[in-house]
Structure 1
Amino acid sequence: MWGIALLVFREVLEAALIVTIVAAATRGVQARGWFIGGGIVLGVVGALLVATFAGGIADMASGMGQEVFNAGVLLAAVLMIGWHVVWMSGHARELAQHMKQVGSAVRTGASSLTMLLAVVALAVLR
């Protein structure tokens, strides 16, 4: 239980970091709050849909299949977290710079606010 709580806490912090970078990079853009908020809502709804379907898969694998399914999910989570730590150690600065570029493109009008919504939604969904 604590492992799941720690994983969720870390993911929420990472999503908050990305949302904060996007919000700071688009300071002064009219209606950015609506698009950032919409992206957060879409990301949460998407995550809830994924969680709903994961429960259905777990129900189909009752008995011994449930234990195999749980072990597979835990193994996948460990592999994903391990890869993420290695990847983020080398790409964190690049990610922050890219988010600033997206914000600058939206601010100058080179990109639409829909791009802002998509970036935030994907960050929260992940």
Structure 2
Amino acid sequence: MTVTKRNFSKRYIEPSTFKKMPVCRRPGSTPSTSVRRATAPVSLSREESAELEALAQLLPPHNRHLNNDPCLILQAAAQYIDQLRTTIAARVRNRTLPADAISKIFQLQGVVRANKRKNKSKQS
């Protein structure tokens, strides 16, 4: 059996050669947070902005003050939908809601997907 020698000298670095990182005076502040990146303004059509306003009206009151930011409104809507689906699943599991309720939700998803397939085949 042969034993190969490894050269460990490459891995060892003298402590004096370590680069010293700049010390931030404030806890939690980093250079990346102090630099603000410019964001491109979002321009929506009238139809899109009307749909966005309608979606914002469907959200719970504590999520309506999102300063008309489309990204935040869509994110809040997605979270609200997830919360509703989780609540329905929990109520069906606890038998406080009939099992048909959750099957109807999944049937609606199937209808939406089928409609999308029909629209794609018509466009082709």
Q: Normalising by the residue count of structure 1, what TM-score does the alignment of the two structures yield?
A: 0.35
Structure number with the bigger relative contact order (C-alpha 8 A, sep ≥ 6) is 1
| Larger gyration radius, structure 1 or structure 2 | 2
- Structure richer in helix, relative to its length: 1
**TM-score, length-scaled by structure 2:** 0.36
